[in-house]
Every structure is written in C-alpha cells, then in structure tokens.
Structure 1
Amino acid sequence: MSTLRTTSSRTRKRALTAGLALSIALGAAVLVPGVATAAPYPTAKAPAVEATPGPLMNYAINVRIVNRGQTLKVERAVAAAGGSVIESYAEIGVVIAQSDNAAFAASVATEKAVLSVGATRTAPVAATDPTYGVSDPLAPGESGNRRSANQTKDMGVEAEVNVVADPSENRQWDMAAIGATAAHEITDGSRDVLVAVIDSGIQGDHPDLAANVDVAASASCLSGVADSSYESWQPTTSSHGTHVAGTIAAARNGIGIVGVAPNVRVSAVKVVNDDGFIYPEAAICGFMHATETGADITNNSYYIDPWEFWCDDNADQSAVKTAVNRAVQYSQGKGVLNVAAAGNSALDLANKTVDSGSPNDTVPITRSVATGCHDIPAELDGVVTVSSTTSTGAKSGFSNYGLGVIDIAAPGSSILSTVAGGGYGTSSGTSMASPHVAGVAALLKSVHPENSGLGLGQVLYAQATDVACPTGSAQCTGPAANNAFFGEGLVNALKAVQ
C-alpha cells in the first residue's frame, strides 16, 4: 500500500503518490491490488483466537478498503478482541488501539476488513505513558470525535517590510548562506501561511516567538489524541521544538534573532514524550492534526521510534509503516508540504546494510536493513528529505545522505536559534537543516499562494542552488544538479520570493 521512495524517477514517484493521496482525500475507496471488493464484509464477530493475558501494548491497524463502514468493523473487532480504540481515522483507514491481550493482533487479523495490524513499540506501555489505560476509549462509531475542529486561518493583511537588524542577526551565518537576509528585503512572509512544527512543543510565550505561534492550531498528540489545551503542548524536557520554530519564524521585533520567514505563523504539534520517544501513534495524530488545522507545511525533525528503519519483512513494522504513510499521503493530498530531516547517522540511505541501534525502547538487535527498510517519515514518497551543510558549504559530517533519497540541502551545523526558557542557543543536526527548508517553503507559499503540497516542493527543487560533490569524494555521486550529498542543491530563499 505504501509508495516508498526508490532511486527511480522522482517525477514518476510523485505522480503516483499524488494519485493515491488524491483518492484518499476525496474519500474514495482505496483498493489493495489482488483484493476483491464486490461485496461488503459482515459485521465483526468475536475472534476465533483465545485471549491470553499479556503486556499492555499499542497497535496500528490498517483497514483493507478505506471507508467509514469498513473502519467501523475494525473498531468492533478491536472491542471483540479485548482492546480499546485510542483514535480512529476513517479518512485514511487507520485505527490506533490498546490491549493487554497477547493474542490481540492475531484476533483482530481474523476480521476480513483488516489489511494489517502491528505493535507500535517493543516495550510495554508504561504507567507514565500518556496513552496508558485509555481511560476514555472511543466507542465504535465515534471515530474522530475527540479531535479538535478545523481552525480558520488568520487572514490579516501582511505587514509592511521594514528591515532592521535584530541584535543577534549578525551571528546567523545560515540566513546569509541561503539568501534569507536578501529575501527579507522583499518580504518576511505572509500571516496567511501556517507551518506546523511536529516536534517537542514550542514555548508559547518566548519573546521571539509569541507573536507568531498560532495557539488555536497547536496541540499535544502524546496520548494519540489531539489535546489543544495550552499546557499540553508546552515543552517539558526538550528545547528542540522551540529551536526549530525559531529557525522557521522567529519574529523581526528587535529581540534576539530572525527566522527564515519571520512573519508567518507556526503551530506546535507535540509528539516527543518526556523520554524523548516519538511513537507512531503520536506522529500519525500529528500529521492528521496539522492537516485538520490548516497547515500549509509541516516540519519533521525526527525519525519515528523505536526503529531507525521500519522494514517490510516484519509484520509489526510493515503495518506501522503503512499507517504512517497513509497519514502522510492524506496530508499531501490536502495540499500540505511535509519536510523532514534526513538523520544524523552519516549513513548512505540509498545503500543501507546493517542496523544495530534498534529498537531503542528495549534491547537493540543487529539486523540487515538492505532491502525494504526505511527511515520514516523522511523516506516516504512526497516528503522533502533534507541533508545538512556546514558554514563552509560542505556536507555536515553527521548528516545522512543518498542518491535519489536526499532532495535538498540546508545549513544544519552550529545554528543559533530560540530555546525554551526564553533564551537562545546553538545546535547542530539535520533537525536544524530541515526548518530552513520549511521556512523557505513558507516564503514561497507567501509569494505564490497558488502553489501547494507536492507542487510547492517541485518549485523548491527547481530554485535550489546547485552544489557539486566534493572533489575526490567516493560517497557523493551524481551531478551538481542532483547528487547524493545535496540532492537538488542548497535551498534558496531569495529565489523563492523573487
């Protein structure tokens, strides 16, 4: 079902992805090749597999044919198997459930409406986990009722640009490198544009961010259900999301720094728990909430835990990958551009071999990841995958790379930005590179609102500054216009606004 990135033609890939996303967005039944669809399935009955006490686990369940009736049958199968529905997305045919029945997956799989089911983690759900206990589970037929309503965009008039340097702007080498400093002479972006920062939360009252944080569109997805209360999406143990938000949209206000698009709005969509994990149920909720609340762009500076690479030859991992991909393709079908960090393992993503660090929530194992294994969301089709560069223009040593995988490059080493507590700090990582691209996409959307989703990404690629492979590099292959280190090149803010 998923349409994952390959090293073949990017144009062909994105055309195929767009077709899938459009069919989901329009509510059409999504057909899986080889599956008959002539007759509806009967109402779910008690599963044939006997229940067995086991650890409390969360599961992602994919409906075979995406429509409301089939999703309801899966919800009933969850209840019959001794589980509770955490959240249900009929629009993409994904149900997130919880159960302490060790035979839960096998039981639910007996329902003909189920395509696949998989555990979202390898460690049991701890009592401190936000999803623990599902104290108020959805009853069958209530899918989506607890998700916040769509918010209306702020249609205020764009402020006149008055370029006055903020105190620390001269320390932002990254802004000059991508042409953002020059772009600000033309525009700081439009208030009509919203970038969802799917991350660890944003300090809502940070003096350099408060004016641009869209409180109404922000939420926590840690429980698997969007919680729009203000406190829920504030950072607790990490400044990561606040740093990312500052790179995108720190305001031009005479304080601190200036973001790539200092007049656009950002929303905080919190998916990183206090232990630092981004579990699939939170990420799926994040993509769906961002889409629901009118985001034009999402920034995803993470990979989904507990697997650095999710593999097709494992039932749990394959099911989760399908569920996440459905959320991503749905958002893209609704006109959202998803931008993601390539990762910091210095790996060639086009030629993976062995993973020894996953799963990271229990005991890592050494396994082959040579085929059918992908970093998600970065390697899902349509997602803009970003590598990191240094102040000299070289690929950052930590940055992942890969011919046909990396789409575009941006500064990610020693980036000054906002941090929780109201201050500023320097960080490095592809996590810091990705928001530069999200910010440039926001400037592009501001000037050319007719561009959206995958089309917005195509313009980003066309405008990027070509960067050739380093002389004598055996790892970087391909022409300056599209190579393993820099993809289509360095993101260009000035071209975006011209």
Structure 2
Amino acid sequence: MKHFLLSVAFLTICSFAHGQNSENNNLTNANKELLKELEQQEQNRLARIQSYLLLNPNTVITNKDELKFSRLYDIVDNRPIYKSTDNLEAGRATKTNQLLPGGSLNLNLDGTGMTVGVWDGGIVQDTHPEFADASGTTTRITLSDSGAEFSDHGTHVAGTIGAKGVNPNALGMAPNVNIKSYDWTNDEAEMVSAVTAAVNPIIISNHSYGVPVEQDEGTLDAWWMGAYTQDSYDIDNIAKNNPQYLIVTSAGNSGTVSYTGGLYAGYDKLTTDKNAKNNLVVANANPTTGEQPIFSGNYELTNLVINTGSSQGPTDDLRIKPDIAADGSNLLSPIPTDGYATYSGTSMASPNTAGTLLLLQEYYFQLNNAYMNSSTLKGLVCHTSIDDIATMGPDPIFGWGFLDAKTSAEAILDASNSNAVISELNMAQNQTYTYTFSAQAGDKLIATLCWTDMPANSISNGTLNDATPRLVNDLDLRLTKDGTTYFPWKLDYSSSTGFSNSKGDNTVDNVEKIEIDAPTAGVYTLTVTHKGTLKGTAIPVFGPQTQDYSLIVTGNNLSLSTNENTLSEDLVIYPNPNKGDFTINFGNNIDNSVKVSVIDTRGRIVYKNTYSKNSTQFNAAINLGEVESGIYIVNITQGNNKTSQKIIIE
C-alpha cells in the first residue's frame, strides 16, 4: 500500500509537469534548443525526486495552509528542497491609478488587447466575476495547465494584476488584461512556449514563488543565498532569446530569517532565480499615502518603509538586487470561490508591478506602434523609481527605489516629443556611442543604461559567497560637462560594516544609473562604451559580437538637438494653463512655413495646421474647441527646426 501511495504521489507531480497546454509556437532555432535543454532539466529533476521518494517514502510532498503553499521542488545533496508561494491601497502608492480610466493623466489605460502570464502554486479561478470581460459573459483567464486545483494564492495574484473592480477596493492594476494561468511546475519550458505562442503571446509574466531560506528541515545551506544557480542561468537565457519578454518575480519573504555564513547579518537572502540578471525582482514596501490636496484624487507618498518580511539582497557578486520595491502590504484581491481576501508579501508586490508594467507597455505602444524591449522597460522603472528615505541611491533592500508609474508614463510621453530620451541601440565591438544635449538647472538630471546580458559563463554549485562576476558584456555609461565626468552608482561592501553605495566604474550590474542632483545649465555629453570582447550567439560564436542596449535620459528642459535651441529660445505660449484657447508667439527669422500640431497624452492629434510666413514675428491664435481637461503637447516645426511644449487645459 505504501508503494502504491508513493507511485500516486509521483504521478501527481509528473502530471503537473506535463500539463502544459499545447500551443502553436513560433519558435526560433535558439528557442527550440533552449526548450529541449529546459525539458531535459525537468526530466532530470523529476528523476531525482522519484529516486529519493523510493528510499524515503514518508517525505512530505506538499504542504498547504490558509496563506502558504509548498511543494517538493528538487533533491540537492540528498536533501529535499521545497518551493513555496511568497506570502506574508497599492495602486495609489505606485501612482498606477493615475494611468487608469479616470486617472489624472487622462490616459485611460486598462491592459486591453494585452496578455500576461501568471505562474503560481495553482491555477486561477477563471469563473470569478472579477475576471469577466467587458461584456460580463466571457472570462479573461486561459487555464493553461489542466488538472491543477484553483489556488487562493494564484487567484489573489492574478486579481492584483487584472481584477476588473466588481469590488472597487479590489481593482487590479490592468483591469482588462487577458491572463494565461499556469501551475509553477515546468515553468521555464512553459515560459518559452508562452512567449513564442502564435496566439496572444506574452511579453510580461509574474512569478510570486521561490525557494525560501527556511525549509522544512531548517535553513538552506548558506551557499544557496545570493548564488547564481542553474535557475538564474535559465532565466537569463530565456530573456536573452526573447528580447521583449520581462520576467517579474517576487524577492521572497525571508527578511526576518537568520542563518550563519551570509555576506552580512540581515542581508543576503535571495535564492535561485532571484539572482538572475535579466529579470525584475520586486521587494515588498509598506508605504503610506495621503490625498494632497484633500478631495483632489491625487495621492502622494507620506512615508516609505520596507516590510520587514521582504528578502534582502544583494547577490554574491554584489549586483543590486532586488531591482525595485512596490506596495505588497495588505492588498485586497479575489480568491476562490468568488471571495476576497487581504494578503501581504512580495507575492503581492510582484503582481502590483507586473500589472503596472503592462500599462506602461500599452501606453508606449499607443505612441510608438511597438512595444519596448524588456531592457528598456526595466531601465525605465529603475530610472524613475523613488529613493527610499533611509538611503540615497541604490541598496540591497529597495534596489533602485520604489515604483513610480506616473513618472514612468510622463517619461514615455516626453520621449515621444523630444523632451527626454528613450532609445534602443546596438553596441558593436570597439564602438563608442556619443550623444550631446543641453539641460537647464533645476530638476535632477538622470541617465540610465540597461541591457539584457548573456547568461553567465559559469554557475555556483556549493561554493559559499561565490563572488565570481556574472556580467558577461560590461557596458559603461558616463556623462561629462566642462571637464567633469559623472559616474554611475555602484554597491560597496565591507565584511565588517556591511553595504553602502558610491559612484564609480560599475563592473557587475547590467543597469547603470547616473544622477546629478543639482545640474548646472549647459551642454552635456553622454557616452556608452564597453570593456573587453563582446560575447553573443551570432555565428561565428567565437568572434566579436554586438550587444543591444537601452538608454533613458530625463531632466529639466532638455534640448536634444542644436536645431531645437534656435526655435525655442524665444517661444512663448500663453495663457498656460488655458481652456483650449491660447497663442503661440516667437521670432520668425527663417523663411519657412510653420507647422503646429497638438496631441493628447494618448498620442491622438487634436489640432493640426500649417501657417505661411507672415512677418518677422510668428503669432497664431489657436482654438482647440471641445477637448477634455488635461495635459497636451504642442509640436512646432519650421524647416529643420522643431520644439515641443506642454500645455494644461483646465
């Protein structure tokens, strides 16, 4: 009877592993090879579990209570390792609500037409009213793993991303997004299939689970924490093969767990895929917001602290992880059966982030007719994140800072109107990229470089605090002005005093961020270079390769070309704010007609006209007619000169 039960248990595990929905995939050759590798790894893992269970038939396979679900994940050094869910008013804190219908930015984003992948300890209750489509007749959930049971945790996570707001307090970040729901078993192979699917491919996925520091039989061996393992390598490989796909994962809830042998007491708690380079790892913050001014509907952070349960980084090679923090404390969301519950943890911070990122991709697509690469999206949210109160600059608790959806969306709009830079470029061997722009004193000047790096050349397997650098292609970002060179942030470490940060040559991170708190007005030069020989997968693989990368630059009154300066230096638009009637005035010394267009924040043209040269002074009264209140962009072009100005319609 004991062997029969053991066989049933093992077959149950296998059924989860091979329950992947068969999709019609557009697999590249690289993804076909990767899929074979991942499936072989899964078979090897299952074989290790089967062999162990035959010798240890009383081993617990699954554990479940009200909030936490654990399942036997692997056997390492003859020891069972378990994977568990990461458990312990989010949209307001991250300002995602300002992107939603009715939000202050008038973007009316809701995830329509987009699909997100959700891997969790079980599948989502697809019939929950919160997941109905706009008509209320069809679910937005696709169940991609047959045989799995509805999961409280998985349903709550999916609701944080995409609940439609039947209960207004449970409104998700992207309330009309389509969701593909998977059990976490065989997740890596399923991710490759989902991102390459011919129908509704995903470009963002959420993973609110991992290997906790504290296991059923005590804490993990110390070498696990911060280590670049096979899972880290696999995640980096999947991301490298699929440049638009961003994998969002929870940091874990081991923040209060202690163990011996880490880099420093109270730190070094990230495990397995949390130590990859190309994903976005999210910590759990516990912010407080206040309506400012009262009754305005505008909520601002009044206090920002980390939830003590959130797992701290960094990685063993001192990369800045987690990447960012978001609100995951006390989130109300759907659970089976048609119910609701309030949970906290990085499991909630991660889907809060994933849903917000879907809206940013939706907005970028509206303005550019294309989605951002994952390195652009990751770089953008790191670029616009809010520093925590305790530490200026990055740290191993908040990462680069707290998610700020509003500032990210404003940067996307500014870039579309030449008031900021969001660029996707390619670095060739021995190339130096140079970009010159002018900025005014005032707002902080920030430049961020981000790239999807090759998987590391080796993985950790039992070496304590293995500091081997995992960065393969080391790109470098610098800003210079008047003989002064500004360097990016980097993390510093002392075994006696712990972690701090400074500015200098960052040789470990694939996110580099330069911040000038009090810039002086003038011309700045940005350069991107690289060290050594660039590695890649192009044939021949042993020759120099190229590396894609993303650049984000924001600041006060940026002028991104010299042509803009001559047109904008005496430009006046008045009154501003206005009610749709305003005047444009500037010196008209060039013998060319003037083109004027006005667009809203969704990229729609609400006014367009061409004016012939009429005098030495251009003066035009504009009437927009009946338009909604909000922010608009006035684009003015005269010959090769162009500029853009924001106006506010009251």
TM-score by length of 1: 0.54
Matched, 1:414 2:355: no
CA drift of 1:286 comes to 3.7
User: Is the Cα contact below 8 Å between 1:346 and 1:399 reproduced in 2?
Assistant: yes
* Count of residues paired in the alignment: 315
CA drift of 1:248 comes to 0.8
Indicate the SS of the match to 1:438: helix
Matched, 1:219 2:144: yes
Matched, 1:459 2:380: yes
CA drift of 1:305 comes to 7.6
CA drift of 1:283 comes to 2.8
Rounded Cα–Cα distance in structure 2 between residues aligned with 1:342 and 1:485: 10
Indicate the SS of the match to 1:96: helix
Indicate the SS of the match to 1:198: strand
Structure with the largest fraction of strand: 2
CA deviation vs aligned residue, 1:82-137 (integer Å, no higher than 9, x gap): xxxxxx9337684432699xxx8xxxxxxxxxxxxxx468842779989xxxxxxx
CA drift of 1:215 comes to 4.4
**Alignment match, 2:125:** 203
Rounded Cα–Cα distance in structure 2 between residues aligned with 1:283 and 1:306: 21
Q: 1:121 to 1:483 in 2, by over 3 A?
A: farther
CA deviation vs aligned residue, 1:268-319 (integer Å, no higher than 9, x gap): 1112xxxxxxxxx5232342343233111111111148997988989xxx9x
Letter in 2 for 1:339: V
Q: 2:210 aligns with which of 278, 292, 303?
A: 303
User: Is the Cα contact below 8 Å between 1:287 and 1:328 reproduced in 2?
Assistant: no
Runs of at least 4 residues of structure 1 off by over 6 A?
55-60, 125-130, 305-314, 368-373
**Alignment match, 2:549:** none
TM-score by length of 2: 0.42
Matched, 1:322 2:230: yes
Matched, 1:376 2:275: no
Q: 1:466 to 1:371 in 2, by over 3 A?
A: closer
Letter in 2 for 1:333: N
CA drift of 1:376 comes to 2.1
Rounded Cα–Cα distance in structure 2 between residues aligned with 1:91 and 1:265: 29
In the alignment, structure 2 segments of 5+ residues that lack a partner are 1-8, 18-27, 63-88, 289-303, 315-319, 366-370, 411-650
Alignment of 1:383-394 (within 5 A): 383-392=279-288, 393-394=304-305
**Alignment match, 2:250:** 341
**Alignment match, 1:445:** 361
Q: 1:89 aligns with which of 35, 52, 60?
A: 35
Q: 1:486 to 1:385 in 2, by over 3 A?
A: same
Rounded Cα–Cα distance in structure 1 between residues aligned with 2:231 and 2:222: 13
Q: 1:307 to 1:331 in 2, by over 3 A?
A: farther
Letter in 2 for 1:400: S
Rounded Cα–Cα distance in structure 1 between residues aligned with 2:152 and 2:341: 9
Indicate the SS of the match to 2:160: helix
Indicate the SS of the match to 1:377: helix
Rounded Cα–Cα distance in structure 2 between residues aligned with 1:343 and 1:120: 24
Rounded Cα–Cα distance in structure 1 between residues aligned with 2:257 and 2:321: 9
Q: 1:305 to 1:286 in 2, by over 3 A?
A: farther
CA drift of 1:193 comes to 2.1
CA drift of 1:436 comes to 1.0
**Alignment match, 1:37:** none
Q: 1:295 to 1:181 in 2, by over 3 A?
A: same
Q: 1:446 to 1:56 in 2, by over 3 A?
A: closer
Q: 1:405 to 1:297 in 2, by over 3 A?
A: same
User: Is the Cα contact below 8 Å between 2:109 and 2:363 reproduced in 1?
Assistant: no
Alignment of 1:425-436 (within 5 A): 425-436=341-352
User: Is the Cα contact below 8 Å between 1:408 and 1:488 reproduced in 2?
Assistant: yes
Rounded Cα–Cα distance in structure 1 between residues aligned with 2:129 and 2:286: 28
Q: 1:124 aligns with which of 37, 53, 61?
A: 53
User: Is the Cα contact below 8 Å between 2:253 and 2:346 reproduced in 1?
Assistant: yes
**Alignment match, 1:401:** 312
**Alignment match, 1:14:** none
- The root-mean-square deviation of aligned C-alpha atoms, in Å, is 4.4
Rounded Cα–Cα distance in structure 1 between residues aligned with 2:338 and 2:95: 27
**Alignment match, 2:494:** none
**Alignment match, 1:187:** 108
Letter in 2 for 1:248: I
Indicate the SS of the match to 2:158: helix
Indicate the SS of the match to 2:248: strand
**Alignment match, 1:264:** 177
Matched, 1:284 2:184: no
Aligned identity (percent) is 23
CA drift of 1:188 comes to 2.8
Indicate the SS of the match to 1:487: coil
User: Is the Cα contact below 8 Å between 1:461 and 1:488 reproduced in 2?
Assistant: yes
Matched, 1:247 2:160: yes
Letter in 2 for 1:415: L
Letter in 1 for 2:409: V
Rounded Cα–Cα distance in structure 2 between residues aligned with 1:312 and 1:438: 30
Rounded Cα–Cα distance in structure 2 between residues aligned with 1:310 and 1:89: 29
Indicate the SS of the match to 1:483: coil
In the alignment, structure 1 segments of 5+ residues that lack a partner are 1-54, 61-65, 72-87, 105-118, 131-172, 221-228, 272-280, 356-367, 470-477
Q: 1:412 to 1:190 in 2, by over 3 A?
A: closer
User: Is the Cα contact below 8 Å between 1:174 and 1:411 reproduced in 2?
Assistant: yes
Letter in 2 for 1:344: N
CA drift of 1:256 comes to 5.6
Letter in 2 for 1:201: I
